[in-house]
Amino acid sequence: MKIVIASDHGGFRLKQEIIKQLEGKNIEYEDFGAYSEESVDYPDYGQSVGEAVASGKFDRGIVICGTGIGISIAANKVPGVRAALCGDCFSAKASREHNNANVLALGERVIGVELAKMIVDVWLDTEFAGGRHERRVGKIGNIEDKYRK
């Protein structure tokens, strides 16, 4: 599995912890920034991760900002991205099993490091269940197609 990860300044410290976790599990990743706590704009990072995942260059992405809200909204503007903001392990599992989420969003100022690591583990280890969920995920793609310019 190949992961792309990015954050704005508000998610920088948590991103560094998640990177250590990925390295400890020998998971291939690429860090798209930010590279410090200097103020930057979260939409740039949500978009870059979204585009990298939607292109197929990466299997999944992880985006982090202060709350996870803004960066997930930005990532979800990219057709083909299904970014899920998760603050608990149940949601992380369901986002993969039911929604085939390909981007995980986290909020550094909302959850602690240890919970974030558990969420990442669950999210990375859970596969899409398919079946009845396949039809529903397909409908999400149909919505994107309807509004694509």
The CA-to-CA distance between both ends of the chain, in Å, stands at 31
Q: How many CA atoms lie within 13 A of 68 on its CB side?
A: 21
Catalytic-labelled residue, pool 9, 65, 86, 89: 65
Asked about 98 being catalytic, the answer comes back as yes
Catalytic-labelled residue, pool 9, 86, 89, 98: 98
Asked about 133 being catalytic, the answer comes back as no
DSSP symbol at 108: T
Compute the distance between CA of residue 65 and CA of residue 55 in angstroms, rounded to an integer: 23
- Residues labelled as active-site residues: 65, 98
